[in-house]
Amino acid sequence: MLTRSNFKRWKQDIEFALDIVDMDLALCEDEPPKPHNQSTTDQKAHYAGWENLNRLNPIDMKRSIAEHLISGLPEDTNVRQLLEAVGERYKVSDKAEVKNLLSELMNMRYDAVMDVREFILKMVHIQSKLKAHEIVLSENYIMHHALNVLPTKFSQIKTTYSTQNETWSVNALITKCATE
């Protein structure tokens, strides 16, 4: 269900669902030429299939959007135009997204609500999102940042790391923290 903050995930789910049931023709292809008297049976069938999917897919997409978010979307539109219209409502500038991701990463603190493995992997996930915006944070940085924001419960791991000459990977840190 599309809500206020999950457009990217919703779009992936819609595209996957349409693809998996082979209903993505109207999303993947431009409108084929309208059939005429000299059109072959295959051309007529292809157009009919495209037109049918282009009629059904927007209906299906709208079923997965919260009712208050549907108002104002174009009514008579094809599936691509509907997806673009929804995308325009959720457009976030790259700069704003980078700012939000960096802020989220820098303000993360382990509170023991989630598993320590999930906590560190969430940092790695943010690192991957930042990389898509050409902000490259090394694995070493993520490992050090994760280590620095862990609470005193993990002080033995912090001390062990500080006294060793080797540098740990994120996976090594996760393994050591998970056994703590």
31: closest CA among 57, 61, 53, 62?
A: 53
Give the pLDDT confidence score for residue 134 in this predicted structure: 93
Give the pLDDT confidence score for residue 107 in this predicted structure: 96
Question: Contact 7/87 with Cβ under 8 angstroms?
Answer: yes
Give the pLDDT confidence score for residue 22 in this predicted structure: 64
Give the pLDDT confidence score for residue 60 in this predicted structure: 76
Residue 101 CB neighbour total at 10 angstroms: 19
Grouped pLDDT means (10 residues each) for the chain, 180 residues: 77 76 70 87 86 76 79 80 83 84 95 88 95 94 94 91 92 88
Give the pLDDT confidence score for residue 173 in this predicted structure: 93
The two most distant CA atoms of the chain are separated, in Å, by 82
pTM passes above 0.85: no
Question: Contact 87/127 with Cβ under 8 angstroms?
Answer: no
Report how far residue 113's alpha carbon sits from residue 116's, in angstroms, rounded to the nearest whole number.
9
